[in-house]
Structure 1
Amino acid sequence: MVTLTLLGALDTVELGTLNRLFELRGQRSPTAPIIIVTIDEDSFHELNLPWPFPRALHGKLLDVISSGRPLVIGVDLLFPEPSPRGPHDDAELGAAVARAGNVVLGAARADTVEYIGNRAVEKAASTMPLPVIRRGAAAVAPINMYPDIDAHLRRAPSHVVLGETREMAFDWVLHRLAAAHGLTVSPRPSVDEIIINFRGGPRTFPWVPYHRVVGGEVRPETFRDAIVLIGPTSVVLHDVFPTPFASTGTMSGVEIHANVIDTLVRGDRIRPVPRAVSLVGMAIAALGAAGLAARLRVARAFVAVALVWVALAAGTVAAFIVVHVWFQAIGITLALVLGYGATVVDNYVREQRERRRLSQFFSPDVLNEIVRHRADVSLGSRRRMVTVLFSDIRGFTSISEKVEPEQVAEMLREYLTEMTEVVFRHGGTVDKYIGDCIMALYNAPFEDADHAAKAILTGLEFQERTLAVSARWEAKLGVQIRNGVGINTGEAVVGTMGSRQRLEYTAIGDTVNLAARLESLTKDYGTGIIVSEATAEAVRGRFFTRELGEVSVKGKALPVKIFAVLPSDIRKYPRATLTTAATLVAVDGGRTCVVRTCDVGQGGVSVTGLPDDWPAGLALEIRCDGATLPRTLAAQGTIIWRRGDAAGIAFTTVEPDGEPVIAEYVSGHKPR
């Protein structure tokens, strides 16, 4: 942006905005008493004379005007060559100029190119009125003005080089003489050029047609104390130029001179903001837009930048209209756009990179929340209450020894993919994978009051999904997959940890260690899910649990109570059918029945032959014995479903030696 500005690449666009500013401001009434005597189409028609008109006729025009006692008369015509009508024609005009005494004649700089050998050399030349005409003039001044790059006339020079001398420009001389004759004017600005504060389009200043003045239709008093300008307005004389009031078409040169004089008299030239200030403004705009885009979400940042732009546009218009300052806002606008756009793109690239990094830890929904509320989410290390889940495949080492490494990798990929989907579905965060082990966190990074329950739901679904994965791989390779889940709730230090080269979002502390220990106990107790007392208390009444007893854990002075989580439907889990009956005793009332069949599973038993009046929710004592069991199994349970005389009974308590009985029996029979 800075380079484009310094090279002037934005100048054309900036000039176009200046046109819009004039059009937004609209027409303003002139201040100076300026009257334009126009050589227009009507004058050509009424006088029926070819151009150029007789110079004696111009002299008559000057006599009429000067008799009205104007402040000064400016003639926007050139008389560099003798009149084709003879010397007397020039003499009559010269005499009229002298009689008036306050006429400023126009001159022009006309550069020429001469060739010296094969080189072009530019030479400054001037077009001056004939001596006989200019001898009695109050002044002779150059009428030159130079268009901008888009061919519009907007600027008026204070001086023009004529020949070897630097002469004050036509409009500035008229301003000086009008002041000398009593007109109150603003001080002449000490600049090389001004940007004209155009009052409006064509005919903003009063016009008096040439033919009406020389025809006696206009009283001389019309011109009293006025600045009178004489010049062509007819398009056939080709003295018309584009101006900032582009919608009004072109404007004659003499009208442009009127606008210059009025600008000088009133002292309200358009002042462009210095380029250095514009460059500073661009830098501030770019940095400000970048800062907004970096701190706000895309839509909010866009609205904020848009509001800044609206304020900039409103300020630009107000500054132009009120204090006549031209704030070149295109560069600032582009700086806003580029600062915002570049930061949005950079944020997007960073966000996608961060998404890819975090997607291995967080579910898509959680990841979207992290991105959406990145200012409110702390991934830094801090202590917080979490529920930690560990799960791994039982006997994975022996499976790896039986199967080719490529098949192990494929099986593990499928298994971990399924388990990760389960974690994400229940709002968990995957902390890490350790071989076949998966560690997940709940209540991090976002607060979730139900984190313990969601971890247990994850563990229960792990059990279901593992059976489905196992069935597929048993069909392929003849291997079964079982997993264990350990869950603990407590405080841990959670956040991004690691080295400068590699960071991970993880949790550390005794809570994590205990969860890992509980997972390792699932094999010993022959149950799928073991939770700590803290987790069991957090979900009391919401899941079927049974106390397994107390265990000693390294680093803990006191034994820790542990609980098994029972599935809501024990039919989904591994079980085996007894060949002997099981005895059930209803705790409430002491009723006893012997069921016909009994499937023993990790979480309970499925039976047939249950009395019709034993409802779901009834607490029972269970005793299973016979040749098919290695030892007698004694437990307590609750009826969790009934269908006809069939029922599912979840274990609530198993006698101390019962867990090994269940594990040994179930593992020794093919699951159903």
Structure 2
Amino acid sequence: MNPFWRDHPWWLRAVAVAFAAALVMLVQLVFPSAFAAAESVMGDLSWRLGASAEAERRVIIVDIDEASLQKLGPWPWPRETMARLSERLDEAGAAVQAFDMAFDAARPGDAALAAVWARVPVVAGQVFSLDPAVTPHAGVVGGALAAAACPAAAPVSQGYVGNTAALMAAGTAVGHLTPRTEFDGVVRKVPALVCHEGRAYPSLALASLWRAAQGPAAVPGAGAGADWQVQAQRPSLLADLTQPAWALVSPSLPGIWVPLDAQGDMRVPYRSQRSALASVSAERVLSGRVDPGLLRGAIALIGTTAFGMVDVTATPLSAVSSGVEVHAQSLAGLLDHQVPYAPRAALAWQIMAGLIGVALLLALAARRRGAPAKRLPIAGVLLALATYAVAVAMLLLQNLWLPWVAPALFMLLAATALATAEHALTRAQGERLSAHLIAYLPAPVAQRLMLTDPSGSVQVDRRNISVLAADIRNFSAFALHRNPLETAALLHAFYCIAVDVVEQHGGVVENVVGDSVLAVWNAYSDCADHPLRALQAGKELLRATRSLLARPLDSADPPVVQPLALGVGIECGQAVVGSFGPARRRAHTALGEPVGVASRLQHMTQDLSMPLLIGPQLAAQLPKQGTEHLGDYLLEGMTRQYAVYAPADWVDLVPSEQLWSRATTSSRSAAVDEPPFSAPTSAHDPQQDPHRQHGA
């Protein structure tokens, strides 16, 4: 019985696809963060490939670098120095001064710094601890949103490092500096809001953007209480496909829309190369050696890159960056309305991508031409790369962060599973075709054909072979008066017996036509005793078919229908065996004198009333006592006489009823002086016998 899948390939392909999908889900279940981690790492590559070299002048980094420390002394600087830096920045026209640092310890000069901050647009920094086990309480927190409620998705902090009460007394705007450090230490997200004691506190980028929209602080406290609020999301299929989990908007900043993920984080858009971020040394600002137009209208981010200042951060663009660069990239993305986000229906995107990919793979698998088992893995790799390319394009062009690893892995696994299925189908079909081919051609020929390309040239081998030709006598008349199904059953049984007998004796059935069988020995593999094997096969074939052919005649058969009998002719000699004809229609056969002689001897068996006749070359290869010379005959179509032999034990090959019939015929023949067991009378007259020229 054939396997179900071999006759129903689409079931096998469906199982392969289902297996790939189950494997992807299993991987996601066992390693829940693996896909997100892979997307983050490959997303870093996307940022590096798409980062712009265009200079960013709206956000300027004021760098407390090594040169500044050498000129002005080690950190921390006196508060008076920081106050003077704020004054210089204000004089240079900075729209907002955002400090990537917190002043948590009270020091002399706090009043001077607070006085400057009270009249210039400043955003101070503060740090929240998102680790429940780390709960510092240093300084004072400030800058909570005006909204009383804390968004449910915002992370909650129990500890903080703020600024001194003196600096917060003037209502200074504050933004938190807390990053989201991922599994590999890279900062890719920043919590937009952090909840502490029921109040929400914005990030430094959000607070700075909001503070810039307020203009110069004319009155103390103008910077307190940013009005960021959660935007209401209307659930719908289209919105789920294109909108974030939630977003922030501000009445003070119409047109600014901050998309966030389900954890309340803003993905940092690293769209500018590090070299594109404008930076100026703090000591140059303090000494007045700054281009007058550099800071005018810009947001000044005061941070540090000096060695040992403990503000080293890994970003997608570099393993060693300063934390101030994260805020600069965030501000630039907010100003450009290019903050990437994952849509609410990210799963739908993954399913659609997977369905499209598997549809293409199934279409390729359905094409039986072109070796799909080999092309499917390549197609899977190409589809996975295409999925990543689409994700990169959507990120850089549409600010959509689409999960792509799961569908890409699904395509790879589906391609591999389908390739395995197609290989199994191809192998099964090849085995089936091979079995059919061997049924119509000699097995060695079929196996050789399966390993070579079609050819239109003559492909033959010259060998010394033994040939056996067998034919059912009186079969044509029998078939005319019998049911076709009965005739077919008889032929089927005869073919099966002939093939078994020939193969058991080391031969190969070369051809089967009508009620005739042609078999050869030593044609495809060496066989030293092939003449003896051919003779043994001929004898065995006569014995094996005796009961099959000795069936009684139907009473309805006309008198002209004679009993069935088998005639066998055997000869050996040089012949060619091979394939002939054009590549689109080939024929395989054996050609040569032994083939013709064996065939004609088989026809003579009826004339000589012998079941098996042997040619002269094969008889020469046998012991003399094993053969009986019947005479020299001119075979039909031949130009010379051939000695014809019969096996010495030919009597054992004739059924007993035929021997009785022949004995009766012999008795009648003796009355007219005819030899027993001979051909018809005319066959013994050299002038009338079409075969014989000289008697034995």
Q: Under a length normalisation based on structure 1, what TM-score does the superposition of the two structures give?
A: 0.59
Residues 569 and 613 of structure 2 are in contact (CA less than 8 Å); yes or no, is this contact kept in structure 1? Answer: no
- Choose which of 115, 120, 136 in structure 2 pairs with 1:95: 115
Equivalences for residues 482-497 of structure 1 within 5 A:
482=541
* Selected match of 1:25 from 38, 50, 54: 50
Instruction: Give the 5 Å matches for 1:373-412.
Output: 390-391=494-495
Where 1:21 maps in the other structure, the secondary structure is helix
Consecutive unaligned residues in structure 1, runs of 5 or more: 117-121, 374-386, 397-411, 429-439, 441-451, 487-517, 530-537, 550-563, 603-624, 637-651, 656-661, 666-672
Aligned to 1:63: 87
User: 1:415 pairs with 493, 503, 510, which one?
Assistant: 503
Compared CA separation, residues 170 and 392, structure 1 to 2 (3 A): closer
Tell me, in whole angstroms, the C-alpha distance in 1 between the residues paired with 2:674 and 2:528.
29
Q: Which residue of 1 aligns with 2:320?
A: 250
CA contact (8 A) 2:193 2:202 kept: yes
1:598 aligns with 2:614: no
| CA 1:347–1:208: 2 relative to 1, 3 Å | same
> Contact 1:60–1:214 at 8 Å: present in 2 too?
yes
Structure 1 residue 328: deviation in Å? Answer: 3.4
1:339 partner amino acid: A
Per-residue CA distance 1:159-206 (angstroms, 9 max, x = gap) = 112333112221112122334449998522253332222134434311
1:281 to 342, 353, 374: 353
The one-letter amino acid of 2:330's match is V
- The 8 Å contact of residues 13 and 330 in structure 1, kept in 2 or not, is answered as yes
- Whether the aligned pair in 2 keeps the contact of 1:316 and 1:326 (CA below 8 Å) is yes
SS in structure 2 of the partner of residue 268 of structure 1: coil
Q: Pick closer, same or farther for the CA change 1:155–1:635 going to 2, 3 Å.
A: farther
2:27 is matched with: 4
| Cα shift at 1:252 | 0.8
Q: How has the CA–CA distance of structure 1 residues 356 and 99 changed in structure 2, closer, same or farther, with 3 Å as cutoff? A: same
Does residue 302 of structure 1 match 2:377? yes
CA distance in 2 between counterparts of 1:59 and 1:352 reads: 82
Change (3 A) 1:180 1:527: same
* Residues 1:337 and 1:460: Cα distance change in structure 2 (over 3 Å): same
Q: In structure 1, how many angstroms separate the alpha carbons of the residues matched to 2:501 and 2:309?
A: 88
CA distance in 2, matches of 1:267, 1:115: 35
Find the aligned partners of 1:158 and 1:269 in 2 and give their Cα distance.
12
Aligned counterparts, 1:123-138, within 5 A: 124-138=158-172
| Aligned residues of 1:272 and 1:327 also touching (Cα < 8 A) | yes
1:377-426 per-residue CA deviation (whole Å, 9 max, x = no partner) reads xxxxxxxxxx98953658x9xxxxxxxxxxxxxxx68835845xx35xx6
2:186 is the alignment partner of 1:152: yes
* Deviation of 1:570 (Å): 6.5
Structure 2 matches for 1:73-472, cutoff 5 A? 73-83=97-107, 86=108, 89-100=109-120, 102-110=121-129, 124-181=158-215, 186-191=255-260, 192-218=264-290, 221-245=293-317, 248-272=318-342, 274-286=346-358, 288-289=360-361, 292-293=364-365, 295-296=367-368, 297=371, 298-349=373-424, 352=427, 360-363=435-438, 390-391=494-495, 415-416=503-504, 418=506, 422-423=508-509, 459-461=518-520, 471=532
1:103 and 1:139 in contact (8 A); partners too: yes
Distance 1:141 1:415, change over 3 A: same
Query: 2: CA distance between counterparts of 1:482 and 1:24?
Result: 79
185-194 vs 61-70, which deviates more?
Answer: 185-194
The C-alpha deviation readout for 1:213-248, integer Å capped at 9, x for no partner, is: 112222665321111111112241111211111xx4
What is the match of residue 378 of structure 1? none
Contact 1:484/1:527, CA 8 A, preserved across alignment: no
Offset at 1:154?
Answer: 1.1
Q: Greater relative contact order: 1 or 2 (C-alpha under 8 angstroms, separation 6 or more)?
A: 2
What is the root-mean-square deviation of aligned Cα atoms in Å? 5.2
Code of the residue aligned with 2:532 in structure 1: it is: A
In structure 2, relative to structure 1, the CA distance for the partners of 1:98 and 1:74 (3 Å cut) is same
Secondary structure of the corresponding residue to residue 54 of structure 2: coil
Contact 2:502/2:519, CA 8 A, preserved across alignment: no
Q: Which amino acid aligns with 2:520?
A: E
Cα distance between partner residues in 2 of 1:569 and 1:342: 60
Match of 1:608 in 2: none
Matched ranges for 1:516-535 at <5 A? 521=564, 523=566, 525=567
After superposition, the Cα gap between the structure-2 partners of 1:33 and 1:577, relative to the gap in structure 1 and judged at 3 Å, is: same
The answer to whether structure 1 residue 42 and structure 2 residue 75 are counterparts is no
Who is 1:51 aligned against? 75
State the number of aligned residues.
485
Name the CA distance, whole Å, in 2 between partners of 1:196 and 1:627.
115
Structure 2 CA distance for partners of 1:198 and 1:352, relative to 1, 3 Å: same
In the alignment, is the contact (CA less than 8 A) between 2:129 and 2:160 conserved in 1? yes
Secondary structure class of the residue paired with 2:60: strand
Q: CA deviation at 1:60?
A: 0.3
1:620-631 matched pairs, under 5 angstroms: 630-631=678-679
| CA displacement at 1:342 relative to structure 2 | 1.6
Q: What letter is aligned with 2:27?
A: L
Mean Cα displacement is larger for which, 8-17 or 72-81? 8-17
Distance 1:123 1:252, change over 3 A: closer
Q: CA, structure 1 residues 310+166, in 2 after alignment: closer, same or farther (shift >3 Å)?
A: closer
Q: List alignment gaps of at least 5 residues for structure 2.
A: 1-23, 136-155, 217-251, 454-490, 546-560, 572-587, 604-609, 648-672
Deviation at 1:15, TM superposition (A): 1.2
Question: Could you say if the C-alpha distance between residues 528 and 582 of structure 1 is closer, same or farther in structure 2, counting changes exceeding 3 Å?
Answer: closer
Cα distance in structure 2, aligned partners of 1:98 and 1:319: 44
What is the distance in 1 between the residues matched to 2:616 and 2:401?
82
Deviation of residue 50 (structure 1)?
A: 2.1
- The residue type equivalent to 1:223 in the other structure is L
- Tell me which amino acid in the other structure corresponds to 2:296: R
Look up the equivalent residue of 2:116 and give its one-letter code: A
How many Å apart are 1:153 and its aligned residue? 0.8
Relative distance call for 1:393 and 1:69 in structure 2 (3 A) is closer
8 Å CA contact 1:467–1:482 kept in 2: the answer is no
More displaced, 248-257 or 285-294?
285-294
Cα distance 1:418–1:359, how it changes in 2: closer, same or farther (>3 A)?
farther
Offset of residue 303 of structure 1: 4.0
The one-letter code of the counterpart of 2:180 is Y
Distance 1:366 1:630 in 2: 43
Answer yes or no: is 1:571 the counterpart of 2:593: no
Partner of 1:13: 38
Percent identity between the two aligned chains = 19
